[in-house]
Amino acid sequence: MESKKSHTIGFRLRKSLKETIGLIAERETRTVSLQVEHFVRQGIRDYLDENPDFTAEHNKKISSKSSKSER
């Protein structure tokens, strides 16, 4: 089961990109953090649509991890 707790990730952006995300976030009535999360989710969805083999591979790894933790 996925944890509801947030995890922090830090990365660098060009100033112009950060400003653009800020403007989009304001327009979409989101915080910058939520806007970045939205973009990441959207990018993952697009990636999975273009790479359906990844889903099966990912599920196999997740199943393997959960069966090891149940031991």
Give 11-32 pLDDT, tens digit per residue: 999 999 999 999 999 999 999 9
Classify residue 41: in a domain, yes or no: yes
Classify residue 2: in a domain, yes or no: no
| Structure-model confidence comparison of residues 12 and 55, the more confident one | 12
pLDDT for position 55: 77
pLDDT for position 6: 84
For the chain, how many structural domains are there in total?
1
> Given pLDDT bands bounded at 50, 70 and 90, which one contains residue 57?
confident
Domain span including residue 30: 20-65
Classify residue 30: in a domain, yes or no: yes
- Average the pLDDT over 30-43 and give the result: 96
Classify residue 28: in a domain, yes or no: yes
Classify residue 71: in a domain, yes or no: no
DSSP of 3-49:
--S---------HHHHHHHHHHHHHTT--HHHHHHHHHHHHHHHHHH
pTM of the model: 0.71
